[in-house]
Amino acid sequence: MVSKVLDSSGGPSAAGVDDGGQPESGEHRKLLYVTLPGCWGALVFACLSFTPSLLPRGGVLQGVVCGITAAIGYGLGVFAAFVWRAFADRPARRPGRRSWSVFLVCAVTLFAVSFAAGQYWQHQIRALMDVTEYSIPLVVLAPVVAAVVFCLLLAVGRGIRGMYRWSARWLNRWIGRRAAGVVGWFLIAGLVYAVVSGVLLGGLVGVANGAFSLRDTMTPEGIQQPATSLRSGGPGSVVPWDSLGWQGRSFIGAGPSTDQIGRFVDHPAMEPIRSYAGLASSEDSESRAALAVEDLGRAGGFQRANLLVVTTTGSGWVDPALVDSFEYLTGGDAATVAIQYSYLPSWISYLVDQSKAREAGRDLFDAVYDVWSKLPQDARPRLFVAGESLGSFGGETAFSGEYDLRNRTSGTLFAGPPNFNTLFREFSDRREAGSPEVEPVYKGGRTVRFSNDPEGGIPPAGSPWDGSRVLYLMHPSDPIVWWSPNLILSEPDWIAQPPGRDVLEEMVWIPFVTFWQITADLPFSTGVPGGHGHKYTAEYVDGWNAVLQPADLTAEQLATLRTVIGAGE
């Protein structure tokens, strides 16, 4: 962060020079002393932080975003003043009282106007998403939170600057002054990186791994070991019930009953098969995949008409709406297989377990495909692939591109793909001219299509969609789909183009600011009603309906199923 690595004069000044460009002469400066150019930068960025992003923000979150962006603005303001003085070839001058008075008046006025405009925009976003939760006390608390966060970041930045100055003075005993300054910056930058990536991140991962691994030994309330041989952990299963983990037991012990499916399809239904292997089931991804596929074969999964391979999210979670919709629409004549590859939730797994997600997606599909491909062609089930969020990232890794997906599967459904997904980015970046990034058209939609509202239609309307169908579901307001480090300095097409159905037109791209706004949206991406953010529920009904192409389903049946899936029944 700029404010952390630049001193108050805006750059790596020589040791012994204070924030104003004058010799320190032994005078101790206050840790949170601020400069006028820095304050102007902080004010501008703090006001811009109230502009709308993808999701509604509460008061505390708004305060955090405001404080972070204000700290960035302070650093940029200081740096701009440093560059201007360098070109003007003059030292820094202390601003007079009049300059500070003008700033204070402008700060109070601009911040109040921005704060009020921000609350208006937040009201509009909540109305778009039918969010009713709103806490006035927390909103009033936002400026206080922003001030605290700003001061903490400024103190950290000053502490890093102090370490640099000390190292530069120490190095100056053996090498030249300029060399000491450069080497000092490299030493401190490396130290900060090591602390952040090793100590802080490593500590966070260690604590999280311990906490979630402990939870993995427990069973969710209301979930019981299956009495049917059609589920892993049940009678005759080669996968012990105790090895499935929290998410595995939740997946195996839930799902629609044959009576519920039968009432939906209006004829007797089969009981769906579910196979799963947890982290405790086997020691590595390849052997877990082999074990899950062995259990799938034991239960008769390869004799069903439809077979679904699901790549889980980090903790091994399988979205119930995804699989339940699949089982309802196939009349229960379906089998689903999945494996766990981490204890950690997706956002932490993204930081440390990307390789595990790749391995799990590739190993599971390859293990299934190895058995499936050896069956007689007229005795094979239709083979489908699915995944949500990090699960879509892992699911993609088993395939090289469009034709591989088309040739080796009967259909694919990915929901909420992270922006770093390889195939997702390839299909989106190579979309047809004129098609928006929030709903791109790739190769005329011949195999791969995108939709943010499959009930309303999947573009391009009227174009043939023959053979295997690949469908990506993604909401315009989903920060998981749109977050990228490129947001720091580059405006993406999804902002430059007309906004999606649940994004405000007033949303604009602002360097640094937009990145932190979207970053702050990530942890709360599922805390909105279904159909928005990263919460995919009833969309699976129409998504699977398009991919599976079941016969003899009426509009009334689909509407009923949307209600059932949306309610989590």
Question: CA 167 to CA 162: how far, in whole Å?
Answer: 9
Residue 50: which pLDDT band, with cuts at 50, 70 and 90?
very high
| Nearest in space to 46 (alpha carbons), one of 82, 19, 73, 12 | 73
pLDDT score recorded for residue 115: 97
Range in 17-26, 119-128, 248-257, 402-411 with the lowest mean pLDDT: 17-26
- Summarize the confidence of residues 64-78 as an average pLDDT: 96
Question: CA 533 to CA 438: how far, in whole Å?
Answer: 13
CA atoms within 13 A of residue 120's CA, in its CB half-sphere? 8
The torsion angles phi and psi of 172, rounded to 5 degrees, stand at -65, -15
Question: CA 236 to CA 549: how far, in whole Å?
Answer: 34
Question: The pTM is what?
Answer: 0.89
Angle at 409 between CA 300 and CA 398, to 5 degrees: 100
pLDDT score recorded for residue 32: 61
pLDDT score recorded for residue 270: 96
Show the tokens assigned to 367.
Answer: 């293990």
Residue 25: which pLDDT band, with cuts at 50, 70 and 90?
very low
The pLDDT > 70 percentage for the chain reads: 90
pLDDT score recorded for residue 212: 67
pLDDT score recorded for residue 239: 97
- HEC sequence for 343-393: CCCHHHHHHHCHHHHHHHHHHHHHHHHHHHCCCCHHHCCEEEEEEECHHHH
Q: What DSSP string runs through 398-439?
A: T--SHHHHHHH-SEEEEES--TT-HHHHHHHHTPPTT--TTS
- Summarize the confidence of residues 232-240 as an average pLDDT: 97
Burial class, 341, CB count within 10 angstroms (exposed 0-12 / middle 13-18 / buried 19+): buried
Strand, coil or helix: what is 339?
strand
Cβ 62 vs Cβ 132: under 8 Å: no
Q: Higher confidence at residue 290 or residue 191?
A: 290
Q: What is the mean pLDDT of the chain?
A: 90
The length of the chain, given as a count of residues: 569
| Nearest in space to 319 (alpha carbons), one of 242, 416, 238, 393 | 416
Q: Around Cβ 73, how many Cβ atoms within 10 Å?
A: 27
Read off the pLDDT of residues 333-354 as tens digits, 9 standing for 90 and up: 999 999 999 877 776 667 666 7
Angle at 108 between CA 102 and CA 114, to 5 degrees: 125
Q: Which ranges of 430-567 does DSSP label H, i.e. alpha helix?
A: 479-482, 493-496, 513-521, 539-548, 555-566
Residue 4: which pLDDT band, with cuts at 50, 70 and 90?
very low
Q: Higher confidence at residue 32 or residue 220?
A: 220
- Summarize the confidence of residues 268-290 as an average pLDDT: 96
Read off the pLDDT of residues 467-503 as tens digits, 9 standing for 90 and up: 999 999 999 999 999 999 999 999 999 999 999 999 9
Q: What DSSP string runs through 59-109?
A: HHHHHHHHHHHHHHHHHHHHHHHHHHHHHHT-------HHHHHHHHHHHHH
Residue 199: which pLDDT band, with cuts at 50, 70 and 90?
low
pLDDT score recorded for residue 86: 87
- Summarize the confidence of residues 222-232 as an average pLDDT: 96
Read off the pLDDT of residues 378-397 as tens digits, 9 standing for 90 and up: 999 999 999 999 999 999 99
Residue 21: which pLDDT band, with cuts at 50, 70 and 90?
very low
Kind and range of the H or E run holding 275: strand 273-277
Read off the pLDDT of residues 427-461 as tens digits, 9 standing for 90 and up: 999 999 999 999 999 999 999 999 999 999 999 99
Residue 15: which pLDDT band, with cuts at 50, 70 and 90?
very low
Whether the predicted pLDDT of 211 surpasses 80 = no
Cβ 316 vs Cβ 250: under 8 Å: no
Whether the predicted pLDDT of 185 surpasses 90 = no
Cβ 386 vs Cβ 413: under 8 Å: yes
Question: CA 189 to CA 269: how far, in whole Å?
Answer: 63
